[in-house]
């Protein structure tokens, strides 16, 4: 019993020491992997991805992706500086690339490396739609969601290993692994992922507004996303993302808050939609 108590104490201490503070929420977040090691690895993977895919340069669309990305990153820096987080972005290396691919997707790696696929442009429909997507992706990087997902995966793996050790000689080992796998995904990892998506939606909405883009257009973007999906989606509790309806409702609820936040930075009117 004394040994077990010591293990628990050490585990709690490790969890406490392996936390970082999210500058947007003030909450402690998991940080088993430091950005000092995570960022260089992410940058290398991003560079490798670019060599293996058709990166589009020198077009109006590719230049728009870069322009919007820089505006969103500048908005993030203004917001962070105004809220006492000067220097937070010093290790970020922003990069925005358009890749020829029919996938309706965009993503951001830890440290600020972003890719938009051409397949998402028709649904974005205009520059403000791009800003809504960009704000969301930048928010993932700013909130260190990649770092948190890796940390959560370590915890999931650690608990699984501990259970296997405890039941090594038990006929219930297979049942435990099956039950733990389902429970940890549905009750732990999937809600964790959905919370990140919701957080990125909210932070992204603020960023696009501070960058001068109308935040009310974010809900319109997700209405188009919903239409494009044809209603084909798993139940929300089995998904890594909130449902389209949940996202649309959230974004509509946050519009006025985003507009008020932008006013603090002198933004009282918005850029044209910028159709393309």
Using alpha carbons only, give the angle 146, 68, 209 rounded to the nearest 5 degrees: 85
Dihedral pair phi/psi, residue 109, rounded to 5°: -90, 160
* 217 counts as catalytic: no
- In angstroms, the CA 254 to CA 35 distance is 30
- Chain-centroid distance of CA 223 in Å reads 20
In 100-243, DSSP assigns E strands to: 106-109, 113-117
- In angstroms, the CA 171 to CA 248 distance is 48
State the catalytic residue, choosing from 137, 197, 217, 261: 137
Dihedral pair phi/psi, residue 270, rounded to 5°: -120, 160
Task: Just list the catalytic residues.
Answer: 137
């Amino acid at each position: 019993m004394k040994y077990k108590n010591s293990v628990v104490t050490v585990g709690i201490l490790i969890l406490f020491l392996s936390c970082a503070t999210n500058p947007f929420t003030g909450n402690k977040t998991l940080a088993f992997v430091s950005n000092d090691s995570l960022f260089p690895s992410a940058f290398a993977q991003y560079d490798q991805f670019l060599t293996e895919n058709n990166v589009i340069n020198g077009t109006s669309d590719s230049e728009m992706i870069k322009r919007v990305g820089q505006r969103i990153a500048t908005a993030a820096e203004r917001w962070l500086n105004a809220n006492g987080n000067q220097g937070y972005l010093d290790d970020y290396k922003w990069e925005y690339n358009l890749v020829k691919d029919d996938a309706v997707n965009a993503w951001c790696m830890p440290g600020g490396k972003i890719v938009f696929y051409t397949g998402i442009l028709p649904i974005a429909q205009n520059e403000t739609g791009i800003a809504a997507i960009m704000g969301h992706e930048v928010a993932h990087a700013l909130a260190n969601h990649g770092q948190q997902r890796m940390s959560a995966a370590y915890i999931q793996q650690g608990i699984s290993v501990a259970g296997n050790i405890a039941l090594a000689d038990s006929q219930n080992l297979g049942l435990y692994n099956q039950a733990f796998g389902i429970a940890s995904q549905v009750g732990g990892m999937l809600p964790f992922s959905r919370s990140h998506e919701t957080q990125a939606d909210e932070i992204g909405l603020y960023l696009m507004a501070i960058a001068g883009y109308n935040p009310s257009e974010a809900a319109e973007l997700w209405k188009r996303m919903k239409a494009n999906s044809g209603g084909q989606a798993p139940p929300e509790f089995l998904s890594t993302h909130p449902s389209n309806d949940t996202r649309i409702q959230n974004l509509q609820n946050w519009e006025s808050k985003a507009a008020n936040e932008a006013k603090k930075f002198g933004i009282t009117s918005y850029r044209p939609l910028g159709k393309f």
